Chain A
């Protein structure tokens, strides 16, 4: 409150209804207040242009989202699955680097990244592949890569901390199949994750999954002012990106979404899809699924969503914590014939 008016404790006067004072009406305040019926009221004249108000209308060019039309393609669309071939080596190079990223329109965040993006690149292997990840730390702090899955203790990315300028090669058999993830496990853990060091790791089952339009969604948040509270929430790193550039899918085709929650500072995150239901496979490591339109995940929790869109048109998806949705975690599917 910038207005203090201590002597006269004016706020106390609020107990008296303005309507009781004919004076107030003379003062021109009566119209907006005294004439109002009890309850809450929307103050607007209906002539006013409401098209741009509220997140339901955050569509198209008006949407405050950073980035260009195809900027997130590499993070949204995973590399193709390869057939089962035990012992085959899958090599990836990850470089930790400090990077300024425009995470929401007009707001730049000094992030820590794998390969310059948040989330880092999508890694993919088939079960029983040898996953070999060459890691170089070009960042200003010590980092590691900690993979979820089954692997030896010395490949866990907890004890072998890589100093700035150092490197390390992680090598292990990819297992088990499902939606996995990787993230930095250097301390302080909260800081290293919140700054952006994480990404998706897909391990395909020996028996290939049905062909589908495959998408990766990494849910996250950014605490840009360091007050321990996220200022922005996104999927794949940029606030409102898919509201500005909807994800195009075909009507009736099988859509598979690899979903993971890497949101720091908040206990949970969620995904809700409009106008449809989907099959949700927790972790994607078994055939057990839930038929729903909303899933809730804690940090590190992930799964695979499979669905078909029976109807064409534009369908919203967003965190069903309205606050997250309105701080950037909202987008659209554009279902085409």
Chain B
């Protein structure tokens, strides 16, 4: 009895694979038929519009006596660089390699130019078909190179706005340990609140940045991809952490939950560091003392968020605590380096999308925890109040930076 069944099943299996190939083969056939028809089908409708021939100016950097313009061809047809202007004046320029860029290819235009420090400046690139794209820069400032001083500088700024405030926030831990369960639930809800704030913030950054990308790079899809991938990756991580911690009964708690919160905050800080680094490198940001202080106050709350789950979860070594602060804070430094030295909007979109997905996952995890542990569950006033307080604290300390 069993033998024929197995045979039939494997036969069905093989058939399934063949059938799966059929639509693909038919698609290839149809596509090649359409391709060989030339423009005759489109001709039934009218004429295709001409290519826009608008190059995309990705990045403008300033060196002594020199401006570098990074351009990308965002369209299907090739574009040839014709002339280059700075402040509406034609300038001699050089490109490395061909002036003709195929689809999505980039090149750097080097213009010898005596730019004026701190003055607004605009650059323009005109295609061989006469279409000019211009980009206005708020101020011409020498772009920091990747030398020892700037690597150290970004690291210190990253440490100050990323690592240090989180360490300070963790010092709330002993105080929180003394609090009763309702207060602890409120603090956990506060963590969820501030992570929700960060998720929304990262998501809006990702959408804003993707809007500036060439259409072919598929902005919104890219955001979804980043969010989904990081959400699923963090779900996997939380399962692994949960397996190690047998006491929680499937719900992450204590140091394990704190680790997850730290990872979520860390991924957010990667994007934040990237934005700081690239904004500074592009002359769109002044790193004033007020700005740094504002960031520190803002991020202290992130330390509080990591401390809350630990307060409810038994003892933890100082080394582990510092480790958590580093997981959450160090990505700021990495982000600042990446942003400062090779800022790309594409990376920015991806980083912010990843940050959003991670933060959402951690909110879910914290929510499950609060639902189980808090007196009165999610509907308790302490939880609702804590959540709102978390959002409000992030909003209000965010104003310090504005």
Asked if A80 CB lies within 8 Å of chain B CBs, one says no
| A225: chain B residues within 8 A (beta carbon) | 126, 130-132
Of the candidates A1, A8, A48, A240, which one forms a contact with B90 in the assembled complex, judged by CB atoms under 8 Å apart? A240
Q: A2-B212, A224-B126 are in contact. Are A10 and B291 (CB under 8 A)?
A: yes
Segment 109-145 of B: residues with Cβ below 8 Å from A: 112-119, 126-132, 135-136, 138, 140-142, 144
* Segment at the A interface, from B30-38, B150-158, B166-174, B318-326: B150-158
| A27: chain B residues within 8 A (beta carbon) | 144, 149-150, 152-154, 156-157, 287
Asked if B215 CB lies within 8 Å of chain A CBs, one says no
Interface centre among A6, A104, A231 (most CB of B within 10 A): A231
| A207: chain B residues within 8 A (beta carbon) | none
CB atoms of A21 and B292 under 8 A apart = yes
Of the candidates A20, A40, A109, A224, which one forms a contact with B118 in the assembled complex, judged by CB atoms under 8 Å apart? A40
| A11: chain B residues within 8 A (beta carbon) | 138, 284-286
CB atoms of B65 and A29 under 8 A apart = no
Binary contact readout A51-68 vs B (1 if CB under 8 angstroms, 0 otherwise) = 011110010001010000
The minimal Cβ–Cβ distance linking A84 to chain B, given in whole angstroms, is: 45
CB atoms of A17 and B130 under 8 A apart = no
Closest to B56 in A: A2
Asked if B380 CB lies within 8 Å of chain A CBs, one says no
Segment 264-296 of B: residues with Cβ below 8 Å from A: 275-276, 278-280, 282, 284-292, 295
Question: With contacts defined as CB atoms under 8 Å apart, how many contacts are there between chain A and chain B in the complex?
Answer: 222
CB atoms of A2 and B132 under 8 A apart = no
CB atoms of B204 and A6 under 8 A apart = yes
Segment 22-37 of A: residues with Cβ below 8 Å from B: 23-24, 26-29, 32-33, 36
Of the candidates A4, A8, A53, which one forms a contact with B112 in the assembled complex, judged by CB atoms under 8 Å apart? A53
Number of B residues whose C-beta is below 8 Å from A? 75
Of the candidates B65, B135, B208, B287, which one forms a contact with A4 in the assembled complex, judged by CB atoms under 8 Å apart? B208
Asked if B88 CB lies within 8 Å of chain A CBs, one says yes
Asked if B368 CB lies within 8 Å of chain A CBs, one says no
* Segment at the B interface, from A119-127, A146-154, A254-262, A320-328: A320-328
A55 to B152, CA, bound (A): 40
A272 to B64, CA, bound (A): 33
Q: A10-B279, A26-B152, A106-B82 are in contact. Are A55 and B89 (CB under 8 A)?
A: yes
CB atoms of B115 and A43 under 8 A apart = yes
The minimal Cβ–Cβ distance linking A66 to chain B, given in whole angstroms, is: 10
Asked if B316 CB lies within 8 Å of chain A CBs, one says no
Of the candidates B85, B136, B292, which one forms a contact with A327 in the assembled complex, judged by CB atoms under 8 Å apart? B85
A18 to B149, CA, bound (A): 16
Q: A29-B144, A53-B112, A327-B88 are in contact. Are A12 and B402 (CB under 8 A)?
A: yes
CB atoms of A10 and B62 under 8 A apart = no
| A210: chain B residues within 8 A (beta carbon) | none
CB atoms of B114 and A21 under 8 A apart = no
Of the candidates B99, B112, B288, B398, which one forms a contact with A21 in the assembled complex, judged by CB atoms under 8 Å apart? B288
Interface centre among A18, A29, A64 (most CB of B within 10 A): A29
Segment 178-237 of B: residues with Cβ below 8 Å from A: 201, 204-205, 208-209, 212
| B65: chain A residues within 8 A (beta carbon) | 43-45, 48, 50, 53
Asked if A96 CB lies within 8 Å of chain B CBs, one says no
CB atoms of A5 and B284 under 8 A apart = yes
Interface centre among B66, B92, B128 (most CB of A within 10 A): B92
Closest to B131 in A: A225
CB atoms of A107 and B92 under 8 A apart = no
Of the candidates B57, B90, B291, which one forms a contact with A328 in the assembled complex, judged by CB atoms under 8 Å apart? B90
Of the candidates A4, A15, A21, A40, which one forms a contact with B117 in the assembled complex, judged by CB atoms under 8 Å apart? A40
Asked if A211 CB lies within 8 Å of chain B CBs, one says no
A55 to B212, CA, bound (A): 33
Q: A40-B118, A55-B89 are in contact. Are A13 and B288 (CB under 8 A)?
A: yes
CB atoms of B99 and A5 under 8 A apart = no
A41 to B135, CA, bound (A): 22
The minimal Cβ–Cβ distance linking B47 to chain A, given in whole angstroms, is: 14
Asked if B80 CB lies within 8 Å of chain A CBs, one says yes
The minimal Cβ–Cβ distance linking B53 to chain A, given in whole angstroms, is: 9
CB atoms of A104 and B82 under 8 A apart = yes
Of the candidates A12, A26, A33, which one forms a contact with B149 in the assembled complex, judged by CB atoms under 8 Å apart? A26
| B401: chain A residues within 8 A (beta carbon) | 8-10, 12-13
Asked if A209 CB lies within 8 Å of chain B CBs, one says no
Asked if A288 CB lies within 8 Å of chain B CBs, one says no
Closest to A18 in B: B286
A43 to B209, CA, bound (A): 31
For the complex with contacts A5-B279, A24-B287, A48-B65, 5 further pairs of A-B residues with Cβ separation under 8 Å are A3-B275, A27-B157, A32-B141, A225-B130, A326-B90
For this complex, 29 residue pairs linking A to B, each with C-beta atoms less than 8 Å apart, are: A1-B136, A3-B279, A4-B209, A4-B212, A5-B284, A7-B201, A7-B204, A10-B285, A10-B291, A13-B291, A14-B288, A24-B153, A24-B287, A27-B287, A28-B144, A28-B149, A28-B150, A40-B118, A42-B117, A43-B64, A44-B114, A45-B64, A45-B65, A48-B64, A106-B81, A107-B127, A224-B130, A232-B83, A232-B90
Which B residues are closer than 8 A to A by beta carbons? 57-58, 62, 64-66, 80-83, 85, 88-92, 99, 112-119, 126-132, 135-136, 138, 140-142, 144, 147, 149-150, 152-154, 156-157, 160, 201, 204-205, 208-209, 212, 275-276, 278-280, 282, 284-292, 295, 343, 345, 398, 401-402
